[in-house]
Amino acid sequence: MPLFGIETEYGIAVEGKGAGDLVEEARAVVRAYPGLSAGPWYYRGEDPRNDMRGFHVDKLNYDPEDAKFDEPTLKPLPVEEERADRVLINGARFYNDHGHPEYATPECNSLLDLVTHDKAGERIALAAARARTAQEGAGRVDIFKNNTDFHGSSYGTHESYLMQREVPFADVLTGLLPFFATRILYAGAGKMGVEPNGERGVYQISQRADFFTEEASVDTLHRRPLVNTRDEPHADPRLWRRLHVICGDANMSEYATALKVGTTYLVLSLLEYGWRAPLRLRSPVQAIKDISRDQSYRWLSDVQDKGLMPAVDIQRLYLSAAQERLAGRGPDTDWTLREWARTLDALERDPLSLGDRLDWVAKRALLADYVESEGVGWDDEALPSFDLAYGNVDPDEGLYYALEQAGEMQRLTNDAAIAAAMAEAPSATRAAVRGALVERFADNIGGISWNRVVLRDGEESWMADLDDYLTPQAVAAALSQISAAPTLTDFLRDFRQKQGK
């Protein structure tokens, strides 16, 4: 059963404000969102320190760069105020995460839905930024879909996948490390420079590769791992685990987003079917950095007992296994298999031919045009600004959107569908139930999360367990019940009668 989503921490720049102001500014942006929403977030049951490997860590690591901007004299805010959490009528979550407005898409069960809702998140973040800018005394807020401030700090674009609990974690780890280290060949967003040492003149294919130091851990903010071991399934923990992927880049390209998620979902399906990766990298953490920085585009990785092997060939091992075992399973699978093969062929033959679909190639072409037209080197100090402008989500200012409007980027969705997704959840996942409850009963919501909604009616309260709505049939039945009830009182009475309570 496919179920996946993307969480994007957006970079912000606020006129007249410095880095130390961005936490409060991010909260202000989230609060300014003009659309219908509900809160607070229901934190009970969440535990980011729970590890898939069977233990519970005492504390999470925090980036010392971020700690420089903490205000020790300020009284800590309650988590509800700190995060400024909102759940939207499309089933998504919008909140402040360490000084970044973060948009987490609703759960999706198709690649097209996911791409569309990821793009809807850009528009929602932009709408909130414009609303904040219009407030009296506020400075102009710009929103960027990227992963670095170019001064040593990184912020994430995370993916979540529902997968079967019965797959041993050791097999998940060994299966994913070579895949994640090489996936940046098509999932990378492109980046000027190397961090944290500030080396200029190097164009990397990934924005996030610089920031990983571990193969596996529960951390996300510091000492980041290629395979995150956080165990928060947001579903029945006896049956499911949520694979929380933090090693991906923020993609502007619709095609790159779909290919990144589609290939990862197929690899997880292979692991669920009992397939095991036939190789191991000598150092996956070093491999992702070497691949990202390789200016020759040979992308050689050191494989245990095999020596150097092209990253494209490592990806082909996964593709071959998926073609053999998964072909014909459905439209998303067949699209992914076809485009995965086409992309690997092009990467091997002429990687720069992929400028109409891969972010790192499209961005490189823009930077190369500037270097050539201005007669400057790749260490020119203006290039990081062009890099940043590529991810500006404002269609009137972003360089990616200039390419899209010129017809130079492949699209999978369209503007009308994106506009609709700002207010409509995917119809066949539990996000539709969450969104419908927000739309109908926002004022009665006392807490809300991915799999719980607390509804209050006077002195009474009732918790909706959204784990019951993991099938399209259950979702359809719940939506019918919500829409048919004239009031919350009627809805709760009918619900209790149908549940025999």
Higher pLDDT, residue 93 or 46: 93
The pLDDT-based confidence of 9 (bands split at 50, 70, 90) is very high
Give the mean model confidence (pLDDT) for residues 426-430: 96
Looking at the fold, whether 120 and 186 belong to one and the same domain comes out as: yes
Q: Determine, yes or no, domain membership for 296.
A: yes
Give the mean model confidence (pLDDT) for residues 237-241: 94
Q: So what's the pLDDT on residue 410?
A: 98
Give the mean model confidence (pLDDT) for residues 416-421: 98
Q: So what's the pLDDT on residue 72?
A: 47
Cα distances (Å, whole numbers) of residue 217 to 18, 171, 228, 280 = 32, 15, 5, 18
Q: Determine, yes or no, domain membership for 425.
A: no
Residues with catalytic function: 97
Helix (H) or strand (E) holding 11: strand 11-14
Looking at the fold, whether 434 and 300 belong to one and the same domain comes out as: no
Q: Determine, yes or no, domain membership for 130.
A: yes
Tokens standing for 497? Answer: 């009668």
Higher pLDDT, residue 47 or 421: 421
Torsion of CA 366, 367, 371, 377, to 10 degrees: -170
Give the mean model confidence (pLDDT) for residues 158-179: 97
Looking at the fold, whether 391 and 346 belong to one and the same domain comes out as: yes
**Mean of per-residue pLDDT scores for the chain:** 93
User: What's the pTM?
Assistant: 0.95
- Residues above pLDDT 70, as percent of the chain: 95
Q: Determine, yes or no, domain membership for 78.
A: yes
Q: In this predicted model, what pLDDT tens digit does every residue of 279-309 receive, in sequence order?
A: 999 999 999 999 999 999 999 999 999 999 9
Q: Which of 27, 24, 103, 32 is nearest to 70 (CA)?
A: 24
DSSP 231-270: ---SS-TTTEEEEEEEEE-----HHHHHHHHHHHHHHHHH
Q: So what's the pLDDT on residue 497?
A: 65
Looking at the fold, whether 352 and 479 belong to one and the same domain comes out as: no
Q: So what's the pLDDT on residue 496?
A: 65
Which range marks the domain in which residue 477 is found?
Answer: 430-499
Q: Which of the listed residues 418, 438, 471 is the one where a domain comes to its end?
A: 418
> In 3-state terms, what secondary structure has residue 291?
helix
Q: In this predicted model, what pLDDT tens digit does every residue of 103-116 receive, in sequence order?
A: 999 999 999 999 99
- How many domains, the chain? 2
Look at residue 238 and tell me whether its pLDDT is greater than 90.
yes
The pLDDT-based confidence of 75 (bands split at 50, 70, 90) is low
Looking at the fold, whether 405 and 449 belong to one and the same domain comes out as: no
